[in-house]
Structure 1
Amino acid sequence: MATIVYQKDNRSGITYAYESVSYWDKEKKQSRAKRTLIGRVDPHSGEIVPTDGRGRKEQSISTATKRGPVPSTQMARKFYGATYLFDAIGENLGIVQDLKQCFPELAQQILSIVYYLILEDNNPLYRFEKFDLLHKHPYGKNISSQRSSDIFASITEEAKSRFFRLQGKRRTDKEYWAYDITSISSYSEGLRQVQYGRNKEGDPLAQLNLALVFGETSNLPFYYRKLAGNIPDAKTLTNLLADFATLGFSKVKLVMDRGFYSEANINALFKSHLKFLISAKMSLSFIRHELDGIYDRFRSFEHYNEKYELYCHTVQTEWNYTEHRPYKGDTITEPRRLYIHYYYNIDKAAEDEKAFDRKLIGLLKELESGRPIPEHESQYKKYFEVKTTPKRGARVTVKEEVVAKAKRYYGYFALVTNETMDAVTALELYRNKDVVEKAFGNLKERLNMRRTLVSSEQSLDGKLFVEFVALIYLSYIKKKMQDVGLFKTYTMQGVLDKLDVIECFETPGEELRVGEILEKQKEIYFSLGIEPPSSL
């Protein structure tokens, strides 16, 4: 049986590949091996470059490539069920085609790292060799830790943009795209965009921010952008819109939380002729003004929604659109149609009111004790009047009107949009944006991105891209499992483990043979929209 043996020449540093054939030596009565030099191993691609036997490359000979299954070159027995699933998903979503078009020399290696990140969650890349020995994967060879760093550094911005453009065109243009930002802590102090900012998880580390765009219908990500860790969310939207224009996405619908709300952002969205749905703070004057007009009749039974246990009401109003035109030296102002969807949660209102009353009681006790806390001085002045007389001492009274005004908007929240829809539809669209937050959880937990350990900008950019590609696979599997109710029986890890035990057998000169597949395993494949591999 012939096998491939690798041997490094310590003098030249070149690794050579030999075909080793075992045979029985009758005279010495022992097993022997005959080796034939095949070629040298390219240190970058890992490919075997043919030689003439003396270390020189052969003259290239034009040969026609035969299409179809590639016969095995060595005998092996490996796990195949889960990686076959990824192969099929990659073909269905066009990931394989798009990667090959954008990264013709790296596509297989990127896919193999993606498979490793999904199956070996939380494991560092230096353990890839074990994965390679046990699993069939696109690249089919070991990828060392240094080689993975080289791959990350080779991923260019131009190639990434092409991939985003190709993947974006595969998404439906009718769905809303959820946009959100998360922070990723880093130990790498040398990275320029790693800054101290408002860390959402309380880590005492510098961070960088990651902006992610997700399709609400497909539940698949198609774009991300790395940001400095100290940039507020609202400051990122105009650059996102510029990226969309560069990528050729003109019919965009965005859904965002209130961290992205600002007058400048709303004007920018109108200017770009994009549809949007965004949460707005109840403290905004125009939000309160429009609500005051319907306040007294808001909590009537015809506005109550039983499904969400909320009172809902929609108001059509106008936005004072403003655009500065430096090239003409003027500013145009015109009204644009805007809808405000209001919601009232009576339970939330009661909880907020009780919490506020407990706060007032605490402040009152501090004042009456004669030991006020300096940090609370502004709140004392806002909610209480303190009168001091020689006989009675300090007398504290509550400013009832101020307290009533503070409680007036408890339980209310608002969504703002420029697209015609009812309040319930808007609420469902907004709640679906949690696919982004769940995706952030997958990135940080399963894909081991909670804290970055890379030390160079290029490696970080490349690793983020590969993690992003892995996120597409995870998001697809999760969506399919939710659609068919697989989560009632399995966790995502349980599904992957169930399939990962399916083996395949490679024999030199023969096509790949797949081992036994149980009916439950076939059911999982069909549930995920994948045809099971053929087995004997």
Structure 2
Amino acid sequence: MSIVHQHDKRSGITYVYESTSYWDKEKKQGRSHRKLIGRLDPETGEVVATDGRGKRRGQAKQMDAPPPASKKGPVPSDRRERVFNGATYLFDRIGEETGITADLKTCFPNTYKQILSIAYYLILEDNNPLFRFKKWAKLHRHPDGQDIPSQRSTELFQCITEEDKARFFRLQAKRRMEDEYWAYDTTSISSYSESLKQVKYGKNKEDDKLPQFNLALLFGEESGLPFYYRKIAGNVPDVKTMKEMIRELDTPGYGKIKLCMDRGFYSKDNINALYKDHLKFLIGTSTALSYAKTFIHDIGGDKDQYANYNGELELYVFTKTIQWEYEHKRPNKGDTLKSSRRLYLHLYYHAEKQANDALIFNKKMDAYKQEILSGHRVLEHEKHYKKYFIIKETPKKGITLDYNQEAINQARERYGFFTLISNDIKDPVAALQLYRTRDVVEKAFGDLKDRLNMRRALTSSESALEGKLFVEFIALIFLSSIKKRMETADLFSKYTLHEVLDELDVIECYLEPGKAPVQGEVLKKQEELYRSLGVRPLLASPQC
């Protein structure tokens, strides 16, 4: 339950209602009941009981009504206070330009302001839990304009349905760049909950010993914005997630799909699935694959010839076209279709990487050797024992080792190389430049866990977790947009993200009942920041 203020412009009276949210099963959306409890005294700020006349009519008019259409220009305030609005003004403008606000309003007409307010809070209150929202709300001007208690935020999360989220994704898809590559990656989010079904023990990417669920994220590499995510059980490896992700992407109606992924998503089945659905891709692979080893062997001593050097990348670059042996199993007919598909194989060599690879390999060999001789063998390492060592054991001499030098030489031949494959990008330089931009996803995961406080899933119900992830995702879009604008304007050479937000967040706005908000002073430095971020500056004036 929450308290709602409704200002009547005709009478000048601000009425106060108790608002109780509930889920409408027939209309499949969140609704609310409002009960009139009085009017707001503009002088004291206290709620004064009404005499009841017109109460039933007023309640009927307010109950379940969508938010009134906002009019341009200042809206009179119903309270007297000074609040900060410099940073939230920036978010408002970004929401308008990216269409986030309009799309949220379409999909969540009764709660979009609360979603935006919580997203603003998550960005500005670095790593703070939601129960501190009340303090922040008193000090900031934000879309909802009032406190959202912990209970109400949980109810809000639970009212966010898969249908509404899918609709939002569809609307956002229409605004995206059709021809850009999308970086795809996953991260692990730990949880103490024993009631969440997808929280399982798995390979944690931060070596956290807790059970987890995994979060997959798609990020536009040119727009710099996230536009789709999905939650995955914590025990599902990366390589198993791609087919389902491809299937889900077809639902929102995305157009041409181009994916950029690291080697953790490489498998023969995944490449066949990408070809089957006519998707373009760029993916990292292991140099131990047969076609990569053959290419490296063919290059031989020419790997560091100047003719193969690229000064822009500071690497030696090689490429060739190979044939992928495509297979498509047809369960209904019980056969397998086979054909050859064109594939571009790009190789890159760096001398420093060669030295580093040699050091890593030698340390691993030392560890394998110690495990064998000590008798404490590791099951996962058995294939390496057999590949690189000739192991003998006798009652008299015990365990003795010799080395499979041929296998070691084959590994040494690959030192310093790394590999990309693509069915779309012919130029190895363009391929690597694009692949390097996929670190935008890693940075986004860092923002999500650290700045937006999602290192732990602090919810115990499935519906609340799903809704919270969506609100966190909205906050991530705003945050990513700001960082992209900062990169474009080269602001990171002068400021950190924290410094930019702090610089704008000190701008004040004065609110007085019955009058338009009065904007406080805006310094020249702050005006320049707004312009650099592509936003019309706030100007000190009688109106915000």
Q: TM-score by structure 1 length? A: 0.87
Partner-residue secondary structure (3-state), 1:294? helix
Matched, 1:244 2:249: yes
Residue 346 (structure 1) aligns with: 351
**CA 1:87–1:288 in structure 2 vs 1: closer, same or farther (change >3 Å)?**
same
Which residue of the other structure, out of 374, 377, 381, is the alignment partner of 1:375? 377
Query: Alpha-carbon deviation of 1:286?
Result: 2.6
Residue 19 (structure 1) aligns with: 40
In structure 1, what residue type is equivalent to 2:71? R
Structure 2 matches for 1:123-138, cutoff 5 A?
Answer: 123-138=128-143
In structure 2, what residue type is equivalent to 1:375? R
Query: Alpha-carbon deviation of 1:422?
Result: 0.9
Residue 265 (structure 2) aligns with: 260
Residue 183 (structure 1) aligns with: 188
Structure 2 matches for 1:374-523, cutoff 5 A?
Answer: 374-375=376-377, 382-383=387-388, 398-523=403-528
Query: Alpha-carbon deviation of 1:484?
Result: 1.5
Q: Any unmatched runs of 5+ in structure 2?
A: 1-11, 19-33
In structure 1, what residue type is equivalent to 2:181? Y
Aligned 8 A contact 2:189 2:455 in 1 = yes
Aligned 8 A contact 1:341 1:415 in 2 = yes
Aligned 8 A contact 1:185 1:203 in 2 = yes
Matched, 1:211 2:216: yes
Residue 233 (structure 1) aligns with: 238
**CA 1:418–1:384 in structure 2 vs 1: closer, same or farther (change >3 Å)?**
closer
Residue 533 (structure 2) aligns with: 528
Residue 96 (structure 1) aligns with: 101
Find the aligned partners of 1:530 and 1:90 in 2 and give their Cα distance.
11
**CA 1:221–1:66 in structure 2 vs 1: closer, same or farther (change >3 Å)?**
closer
State the Cα deviation string for residues 202-236 of structure 1 (Å, max 9, x = none): 11111000000000001100000011001011111
Residue 48 (structure 1) aligns with: none
Find the aligned partners of 1:127 and 1:394 in 2 and give their Cα distance.
63
Residue 337 (structure 2) aligns with: 332
In structure 2, what residue type is equivalent to 1:504? C
Query: Alpha-carbon deviation of 1:395?
Result: 8.3
Matched, 1:37 2:49: yes
Which residue of the other structure, out of 68, 71, 80, is the alignment partner of 2:72? 68
Aligned 8 A contact 2:45 2:79 in 1 = no
**CA 1:192–1:363 in structure 2 vs 1: closer, same or farther (change >3 Å)?**
closer
Structure 2 matches for 1:1-16, cutoff 5 A?
Answer: 16=37
Residue 282 (structure 1) aligns with: 287
Aligned residues: 507
Matched, 1:304 2:325: no
Q: TM-score by structure 2 length? A: 0.86
Aligned 8 A contact 2:282 2:420 in 1 = yes
State the Cα deviation string for residues 348-388 of structure 1 (Å, max 9, x = none): 11222244345656777999xxx654428966665455789
Aligned 8 A contact 2:42 2:79 in 1 = no
State the Cα deviation string for residues 34-79 of structure 1 (Å, max 9, x = none): 964369xxxxxxxxxxx637677456499x9783332223323211
Partner-residue secondary structure (3-state), 1:413? strand
Query: Alpha-carbon deviation of 1:511?
Result: 2.2
Find the aligned partners of 1:7 and 1:66 in 2 and give their Cα distance.
20
In structure 1, what residue type is equivalent to 2:299? I
**CA 1:277–1:117 in structure 2 vs 1: closer, same or farther (change >3 Å)?**
same
Aligned 8 A contact 1:21 1:35 in 2 = no
Find the aligned partners of 2:125 and 2:371 in 1 and give their Cα distance.
56
In structure 2, what residue type is equivalent to 1:345? H
Aligned 8 A contact 1:180 1:211 in 2 = yes
Aligned 8 A contact 1:214 1:435 in 2 = yes
State the Cα deviation string for residues 256-294 of structure 1 (Å, max 9, x = none): 001111111111111111110001111222322333333
**CA 1:513–1:215 in structure 2 vs 1: closer, same or farther (change >3 Å)?**
same
Partner-residue secondary structure (3-state), 1:213? strand
Matched, 1:162 2:176: no
Find the aligned partners of 1:520 and 1:33 in 2 and give their Cα distance.
37
Partner-residue secondary structure (3-state), 2:241? helix
Residue 121 (structure 1) aligns with: 126
**CA 1:38–1:241 in structure 2 vs 1: closer, same or farther (change >3 Å)?**
farther
Find the aligned partners of 2:45 and 2:252 in 1 and give their Cα distance.
57
Find the aligned partners of 1:101 and 1:129 in 2 and give their Cα distance.
27
- Name the Cα RMSD after superposition: 3.1
**CA 1:60–1:441 in structure 2 vs 1: closer, same or farther (change >3 Å)?**
closer
In structure 1, what residue type is equivalent to 2:527? K
**CA 1:355–1:500 in structure 2 vs 1: closer, same or farther (change >3 Å)?**
closer
Compare 441-450 and 197-206 and name the one that shifted more: 197-206
State the Cα deviation string for residues 103-146 of structure 1 (Å, max 9, x = none): 11111110011111111121111111111111110011110100
Aligned 8 A contact 1:3 1:74 in 2 = no
Aligned-pair identity in percent equals 51
**CA 1:290–1:141 in structure 2 vs 1: closer, same or farther (change >3 Å)?**
same
Find the aligned partners of 2:231 and 2:507 in 1 and give their Cα distance.
38
In structure 1, what residue type is equivalent to 2:448? L
Compare 97-106 and 287-296 and name the one that shifted more: 287-296
In structure 2, what residue type is equivalent to 1:16? I
Which residue of the other structure, out of 202, 218, 221, is the alignment partner of 2:207? 202
Q: Any unmatched runs of 5+ in structure 1?
A: 23-31, 40-50
Matched, 1:173 2:178: yes
Residue 52 (structure 1) aligns with: 53
Compare 82-91 and 121-130 and name the one that shifted more: 121-130
